[in-house]
A and B are shown apart, each in its own frame.
Chain A
Amino acid sequence: MRRPLQYLALVAYMVFLAFPLVWLLSTALKTSQEMASLTPTWIPRHPVLTNFADAFTEQDIVGSALRSLVVAVATSALTIVLALPAAYAMARYRSLVNRLAVGWVLVSQVFPFILIIIPLFMVLRSLDLVNTLPGLMIVHVTFVLPFALWMLQGYVRAVPRELEEAAAVDGAGRVRAIVRVVAPLLAPGVVATALFAFISSWNEFLFALVVLKDPGVATLPLTLVKFTGAEGVVRLGPLAAASLLATIPSLVFFAIIQRRLRSGLMAGAVKG
């Protein structure tokens, strides 16, 4: 008797989780005539891909996607370059910074964004970085860094120190030991962290909203939000198509790193 009830509950959960996604896909495949009809159906009567083509030509979706890409790639590269040496030091030497970094990750959760974003906006304004992509990039790097640092130092810790020392004893020299022995073992962790930084930046909306006022430099989330104007239901098809396309990079990268993110979450929350 229990099993059937459990399956019923599981199906209910899956319906709740999946139906908005199915609806998004369905809307993306509908013609504008069908969107205007008064009886929406789950399955498009005449599925078309024109909305995806429209999404590319309208509203500067391509331009803003490129800007998002530039910011996200620069953010992940810069995050790794800045965080890797610090993560190495955190993992190998005892220092006060470890605790400070952890403390900062927690503190930054509790403090509402408004307390940081107003002064940060003033700082960027005085540096003439408002309405520029480097301005947004700086903000993204700053806010990804603490967590990236934490992820990376975990990966460094997982590389046995003895390996590094053995290579050094064999006459490889310390720097070469790190490059030859530690780096290859660390590579998967670095990739995971870089992808995490990419997703965070690619998805980010709030800071972009404040830093990029000029529509000419808008990133993808900003352009998507402005997409729905007064034109009504006719435009919903291309909007749905563009939304789907905007989700693909995050979804793919997330699929790659989800195991690592999950184990990180578990390690922290459970063994606390």
Chain B
Amino acid sequence: MTLTAERTHRPAAGHRGGGRGGGWQRRETLMLMLPALVPVLVFSVGPLLYGIFLAFTDARSGRNAVTSFVGLSNFGDLLADGDFWASFRIGLVWAVSVTVLQFLASLGLALLLNENLRFRSFARVLALVPWAMPPVVIGLMWRLVYHPNAGILNSVLQDAGLLDHNVDWLNDFSLALPAVIVVGIWTGMPQTTVVLLAGLQNVPKELHEAGHMDGASTFRRFWSITLPQLRPVIVTITSLDFVWNINQFGLVYVLTQGGPGGQTRLPMLFAYEEAFRYGFFGYAATLGVAFVIVVLALLSIYIGRQMREAN
């Protein structure tokens, strides 16, 4: 939802009316800002900086635990930790597949909603519902769908002759991750669809008309007019989706708690367990810092490449 933040360069109209001096105005601005500034500084900027510091310590969860600076040794442990790498691999598979499939599904839906079809407004409303639901309810709902005995998925697939026995989707070693990925796609579709639809509506109609006159086919017009026009929107929303997905926690925690046998233990579930089950605050913070570096690196490669191709 924070896409709005993209609009950074709107010049704020510097208003100096009524002959007031700059100093007076600065003090007034500060007074007005202070109530909002203090909580953000104390409860999120400060903790964030302290969290980065913790990554270089051996902090434990105990109230009176003695913390000492250990330099980069946590990072060394992390690189040698097989469980971390397993979790990291799962996280990448999850984030890339959800982001890509979500994008393709949402693009398809946005293209349909942009056409003059019947029931379009009903479909638009329906497409927004997952956005409003509590993530916990989404997780519980899909657990009902995937339930081995009482779930509808097994029943439907058996009626269609695609299955001959009940499958325990969320407890199967090879099926749990794909099953969770489907829920991830379902959950994130509204935001992506809304953004892509807005992008489509901003593609100038004249371009399409010109393409039509030149005899370009529908597909051809989509490929050489719509997609290039949409590129900035696509890059923005897929980057954000990727960041949101790789940092996902609640949905998967409710669905599988990371099981079976760690097959769906996303990196943030791993970090949560390290911190709040085993009490390794420092180590969990190290994972967080390592993650910021990896995500920023991946994003800059992706965005950089897209920008080069656009030019």
A binding-site residues for B, Cβ under 8 Å: 2-3, 6-7, 9-10, 13-14, 16-21, 23-24, 26-27, 35-36, 38-42, 81-83, 85-86, 88-95, 97-99, 102, 104-106, 108-120, 122-123, 125, 138-139, 141-143, 145-147, 149-151, 154, 161, 165, 199, 202-203, 205-206, 209-210, 220-221, 224-225, 227-228, 233, 236, 239-240, 243, 246-247, 250-251, 253-255, 258, 261-262, 264-272
A85–B31 alpha-carbon span in the complex (Å): 9
Assembled-state Cα–Cα distance A199/B133 (Å): 9
Determine whether B163 belongs to the interface, using a CB cutoff of 8 Å to chain A: no
* Cβ-closest chain B residue relative to A38: B149
- Residues in chain B near residue A90, CB distance under 8 A: 12, 33
Instruction: Give the 8 A-B residue pairs with the shortest CB-CB distance, closest first.
Output: A254-B132, A268-B4, A266-B198, A115-B288, A119-B47, A86-B36, A89-B32, A94-B14
Residue B66 at the chain A interface, CB threshold 8 Å: no
Known: A112-B291, A269-B199, A270-B202. A85 touches B134 (CB 8 A): no
Residues of B within 8 A of A118 (CB): 51, 54, 59, 275, 281, 284-285
Query: Hey, which chain A residues are within 8 Å of B17, CB to CB?
Result: 165
A256–chain B nearest beta-carbon distance, Å:
11
Nearest-neighbor residue (CB-CB) of A266 within chain B: B198
Contact yes or no, B247 A89, CB < 8 A: no
> Does B137 count as interface, using CB distance less than 8 angstroms?
yes
B221 — which chain A residues lie within 8 A by C-beta?
none
Q: Which residues of B contact A (CB under 8 A)?
A: 1-8, 11-15, 17, 25, 28-29, 31-33, 35-37, 39-40, 42-48, 50-52, 54-55, 59, 63, 105, 108-109, 112, 115, 117-119, 123, 126-137, 139-145, 147, 149-152, 155, 186, 189, 191, 194-195, 198-199, 202, 218, 232-233, 236-237, 240, 243-244, 247, 249-250, 253-254, 267-268, 271-272, 275-276, 281, 284-285, 287-289, 291-292, 295-296, 299
Distance in angstroms between the alpha carbons of A264 and B4 in the assembled complex: 6
What are 17 A-B residue pairs whose CB atoms fall within 8 Å in the complex? A6-B115, A19-B145, A23-B145, A27-B144, A85-B36, A86-B33, A93-B28, A94-B13, A98-B12, A106-B5, A115-B55, A116-B51, A118-B54, A118-B281, A118-B285, A150-B4, A271-B7
- Given A9-B112, A115-B292, A270-B129 contact (CB < 8 Å): no
Q: Report the minimum CB–CB distance from B296 to chain A (whole Å).
A: 7
What is the CA–CA distance of A212 and B142 in the complex, to the nearest angstrom?
25
B48 touches A116 (CB 8 A): yes
B residues near A258, Cβ cutoff 8 Å: 128, 132
Contacts of B48 in A (CB 8 A): 111, 115-116, 119
B133 touches A9 (CB 8 A): no
Judging by beta carbons under 8 Å apart, are B186 and A20 in contact? yes
Q: A82-B36, A86-B33, A271-B7 are in contact. Are A250 and B233 (CB under 8 A)?
A: no
Determine the chain A residues whose CB is within 8 A of the CB of B4 once the complex forms.
147, 150-151, 154, 264-265, 267-268
* Contact with B292, one of A35, A112, A253 (Cβ below 8 angstroms): A112
Residues of A within 8 A of B31 (CB): 85
Q: How far is the CB of B259 from chain A (nearest CB, A)?
A: 14
Residue picked from A106, A117, A138, A210, most chain B C-beta under 10 Å: A117
> How far, in Å, is B237 (CB) from chain A's closest CB?
7
- Given A138-B39, A251-B129, A268-B4, are A95 and B29 neighbors across the interface (CB < 8 Å)? yes
The CA of A110 and the CA of B292, in the complex, are separated in Å by 7
**Taking the nearest CB of chain A, how far is it from the CB of B106, in angstroms?**
10
Per the bound structure, the CA–CA distance linking A20 and B233 in Å amounts to 29
The answer to whether A139 and B43 touch across the interface, beta carbons within 8 angstroms, is yes
* Contact, CB under 8 Å: B1 / A225: no
In the docked arrangement, what's the CA distance between A83 and B236, Å? 27
